[in-house]
Amino acid sequence: MTEAQIKDFAADPAWARLMHFHKKESTVDSKEFFIAPDGKTNLVSELKATAELFNKDPSKACLFAGRYLWLKRKLGLSLPAPECPEYDKFRKEIGLTRVALIYTTSYLGNPASFFGHTLLRLDSQRDATLLSYALNYGAVTGNDTDILYAIKGLSGGYPGVFSVYPYYDTVNLYNNMENRDIWEYRLNMTQEESDLFIAHVWELGHNTAQYYFATENCSYMVMETLNLLRPETDWTEQLPFLFTLPADTVRIVLKQKGLAGDIVYRPSRQTKIRNAFAHLSDAERDALYKLIDDPNAAIDLPDERKAAVLETAYEYLQYRFIKKKVDLKTLRDSTIALLKARNALPAKSVLPPVPVPSVRPDQSHKPSAVTVSAGHGNHKNFVELTWRPVLHTLLDESEGFIPFNAINYLAGTARYDEDGKLSLRRLDFVDLMSPAPAEQLFHPVAFKVKFGFDRFFYSPSGKELPVFDVSGGAGGAVMIGKHIDAYLIMTATIKAGKRSVAGLGFEVGLAADFGKVRTTLSVRPEAMTRKDARLTVYDAGLSVSLSRDWSWVTAYSFQDGKKYDNKTITSGLQYRF
């Protein structure tokens, strides 16, 4: 190639996507991914070195199958064709015809999975999608402790790698073991696009990139890889600055004209059990409880209803085993008993399929929110600005989310009062709350965790003091009707500052979700290490949706101290973006 051709080809957006290049450098960090010494930061230099290497040693194209195929098409002439038995075996085994973007909902058992997860399914002409392969990108974390895990994960201390494995393993992990619903977004591809894509996947498989949990994470790298299908624009430029969320990456991919195809919902085992239980009569539920206690128990029901109960009992048994509620011997013996009884029935199950949720995760509310409020507290009028980069509170619309869960990071509030004083009211590094209600078959632990800077009302002086607050607790919750969640959480807190205190207490509350209207009520008595600093806090909140992106939010707090009390009310407009 001439120097002019090299510069022209290097300016092609597809070359930048092949190199995972953004603005000034590539996301990939492995030195082996680059041929030129400055290839990570110089597209022209890397293209020139690549072309020279292929002409000098054609066998090297086996390592760089993606750029080899792209250059071959770009040049429109024959390059030396190497024999690549390992790559040919990989390509034929995958048999790629189409890619599906896979989104799994959040998993509250692992903080790294609170936002959900994305990966790719590499579809072939096989009839069953479970026999396809999955392409996943994840961090190699080893056995680090939770604190070290968080520090290294946020600072890019782990290498991220792509891995390819059977898709049925993915479904088993997310659907069955972690009880996460799966959404499959099938993408349209031409044969030329699929050939280049699988060649690029092979090329990536030998390399690593620094993994940042908040930004350059699983969703970032998956979307960056898919960007090769529509190279004209850099999709990463559409991402928020602080966080890369799986739902955001799905939204960006779906916006690409002509790319999205069918969308398939795959409910988790827990979702299927919950759906089955909802369609059982009281007598059938009693029969189910008998089978849970004794899989050999005789149940007197019509064959088709007995079949439904036996199938539900079998699924629940598998669920309990994964949750380590039954041992392996019990699993084997109970499975034989349940399947033997089920197979003796000719009737088909009458259980209806799980209905597809009306709102997908990519259709849920946007992740960031800013709220401008006016209020009165501590005998002063003020205005407040609250910014939440991610993600969701109990007062937000819950469609597309797990109901009654709050997940927020780096949320802050600034206040400007009538005396002209500007102050930082709070800055929550982490604020999680899950008053998940118990059901007949499932008994999740309700919990809350928060740490960050806050204002503590110190009753002996009647003043609010800045503190670093670490608090949390665990308990339980139940549903009252269809829309109201009642919870009780035992709490502990440490407030470090000018008047450092620690405390124990509990929080009892209600969270109601009526769709466009949500409300919360809570009471939190706390006994402090300083006896005169004991406090009971009464909180109430109301949010009314005005449109998809706009809501009106009102909050009231009454802090009842031993000597003084403090009342605050705010009301204002919230915008989501």
Give 461-502 pLDDT, tens digit per residue: 999 999 999 999 999 999 999 999 999 999 999 999 999 999
pLDDT (0 to 100) of residue 111: 61
Do residue 30 and residue 122 come from a single domain?
no
- Among 57, 80, 103, the domain-final residue is 80
Say if 323 falls within a structural domain: yes
Domain membership flag for residue 275? no
pLDDT value at position 120? 98
What is the residue-averaged pLDDT of the chain? Answer: 94
Is residue 49 in some structural domain? yes
pLDDT at residue 78 is higher than 70: no
Domain end call among 55, 80, 105: 80
**Which residues are CB-neighbours of 146 under 8 A, at least 6 positions away?**
none
The pTM (predicted TM-score) of the whole model is: 0.92
pLDDT at residue 367, as a whole number = 93
Q: DSSP letters of 205-224? A: TT-EEEE-SSSSSHHHHHHH
Mean pLDDT of 107-131: 84
- What is d(CA 247, CA 240) in angstroms, rounded to the nearest whole number? 12
User: What percentage of residues in the chain have a pLDDT greater than 90?
Assistant: 86
The pLDDT score that the predictor gives to residue 506 is: 98
Q: What is the mean pLDDT of residues 225-245?
A: 93
Same domain, 97 and 71: no
The CA distance from 108 to 118, in Å, is 16
State whether 324 and 369 are in the same domain: no
Q: Please indicate, yes or no, whether residues 302 and 440 belong to a single structural domain of this protein.
A: no
Indicate if 189 and 218 belong to the same structural domain. Answer: yes
Where does a domain end: 37, 55, 80? 80
Segment 438-462, tens digit of pLDDT: 999 999 999 999 999 999 999 999 9
pLDDT-derived band at 155 (thresholds 50, 70, 90) equals: confident
Q: What is the pLDDT of residue 100?
A: 97
In DSSP terms, which residues pair with 535 in a beta bridge? 526, 561
* Residue range(s) defining the domain that contains residue 296: 280-343
Give pLDDT tens digits for 137-150.
Answer: 999 988 887 778 77
| Same domain? 430 vs 368 | yes
* Tokens 């430029």 -> residue: 237
Return phi, psi of residue 277, to 5°.
-60, -35
Q: Contact, 464 vs 458, CB < 8 A? A: yes
In this predicted structure, what is the pLDDT of residue 80?
62
For the CA atoms of 75, 80, 83, 84, the dihedral, rounded to the nearest 10 degrees, stands at -40
- Dihedrals φ, ψ of 100, to 5°? -120, 130
Tell me the pLDDT band of 110, cut-offs 50, 70 and 90.
Answer: low
Reply yes or no: is the peptide bond before residue 510 cis, omega within 30 of 0: no
- Whether pLDDT at 81 is above 80: no
Number of structural domains the chain divides into? 4
Identify the band that residue 109 occupies on the pLDDT scale cut at 50, 70 and 90. Answer: low
Do 315 and 378 belong together in one domain? no
